[in-house]
Amino acid sequence: MRVLVTGGAGFIGSHVVEALAARGHEPVVFDVRADAAADVRDRDAVERALVGVDAVCHQAAMVGLGDGVADAAEYVSRNDLGTAVLLAAMADADVRRLVLAGSMVVYGEGGYECARHGVVRPGPRDVAGLDAGRFEPLCPLCGAEVTPGLVGEDAPLDPRNVYAATKVAQEHLAAAWARATGGSAVSLRYHNVYGPRMPRNTPYAGVASLFRSALARGEAPRVFEDGRQRRDFVHVRDVAAANAVALEADQAGGVLAAYNVGSGEPHTVGEMARALAAAYGGPEPVVTGEYRLGDVRHVTADSSRLRDRLGWKAEVGFADGMREFAAAPLRGE
């Protein structure tokens, strides 16, 4: 297949390009980093890029929590307007296969269970509790402690920040496109992706990049909250492989299929920071007690649907991945 990869010069997109080429496909990079005119919000540029294309792998996005709502308009423009322009152009060009870079942020908090009430959905954490160091969510029905578990694709969508809201909107736009055109649409809900070519320290970088950037400066990684928040750190090559598998799969038309993309090995942020610091040979992490209001406490993936239906599984283990990442170059942005 000839595959247009939006964001194909970026962190994840560049690995997707390599994975597709290795499997015999012809990836076409569309990215403002490679060509200042390659903006998904530019209908003419997108139409030119779609000529002769069989499928689109849509990686282009503004990522991270950003700065509260100050940059909300930019997030919506890049992520949602850009996706809408792309989908409209795909409809006109009769391109009917889409894989979207989704995100676990659409869930808000992950899965929790109360001993008394079973599966529950804690509401947003409050400033007073966070200021007092009360980081763990409680049962919304009885106020008791809850046990975090895995979150599946059928969990309600509950975005807790601007970026998350734009990722939900992208999925709804893709679903509307699929219904209108009969096209095949897949959203791969990435969990915490890390690996070579991550952008170095910026307000929009992932936590692994922030820690790695601190170590490169000779500084201790600063771990927010108490460091016990659980995440699923998945290697970028595994994410790229998931994109290739999803593009090749025989997906039903007219609907959006969503798949979690996680390693299946939940770890705390503190564990990740310590593993990375040890592999790098840098200073021990410092737990600061700080927090970001838009963050959630625990969110880890149940990726069994992707394994069962498409045959994908993560190949890079946590320890090996962290050792590689400690030595890998970061991308300057």
In a domain, 125, yes or no: no
In a domain, 169, yes or no: yes
Report the pLDDT value the prediction gives residue 202, as an integer from 0 to 100: 66
pLDDT at 12 over 60: yes
pLDDT digits (tens, 9 = 90+) for 112-121: 999 999 999 9
In a domain, 142, yes or no: no
In a domain, 118, yes or no: no
pLDDT at 110 over 60: yes
Cα separation values, 226 from 49, 185, 223, 229, 240, Å: 47, 39, 7, 8, 32
Report the pLDDT value the prediction gives residue 204, as an integer from 0 to 100: 63
Report the pLDDT value the prediction gives residue 203, as an integer from 0 to 100: 60
Report the pLDDT value the prediction gives residue 288, as an integer from 0 to 100: 96
In a domain, 133, yes or no: no
In a domain, 74, yes or no: yes
pLDDT digits (tens, 9 = 90+) for 35-94: 878 999 999 999 999 999 999 999 999 988 777 788 999 999 999 999 999 999 999 999
Cα separation values, 116 from 44, 109, 136, Å: 57, 19, 17
pLDDT at 332 over 90: no
In a domain, 131, yes or no: no
Q: Which of 75, 107, 112, 163 is catalytic?
A: 163
In a domain, 160, yes or no: yes
pLDDT digits (tens, 9 = 90+) for 266-279: 999 999 999 999 99
pLDDT digits (tens, 9 = 90+) for 147-198: 999 999 999 999 999 999 999 999 999 999 999 999 999 999 999 999 999 9
- Grade residue 34 by pLDDT with cuts at 50, 70 and 90: confident
User: Cβ of 297: how many Cβ atoms within 10 Å?
Assistant: 20
Which ranges of 182-290 does DSSP label H, i.e. alpha helix? 207-216, 236-248, 269-280
Give ∠ CA 191-193-199 in degrees, rounded to 5. 140
Computed over its alpha carbons, how large is the radius of gyration of the chain?
A: 19
pLDDT digits (tens, 9 = 90+) for 236-291: 999 999 999 999 999 899 999 999 999 999 999 999 999 999 999 999 999 999 99
Number of structural domains found in the chain:
1
Name the residue range of residue 275's domain. Answer: 2-111+149-327
DSSP bridge pairs for 230: 268
Task: Pick left, alpha or beta for residue 251 (phi over 0 → left; psi -120 to 50 → alpha; otherwise beta).
Answer: beta
Q: Catalytic site residue 163? A: yes
CATH number at residue 261: 3.40.50.720
Report the pLDDT value the prediction gives residue 37, as an integer from 0 to 100: 87
For residue 317 the two structure tokens come to 């283990």
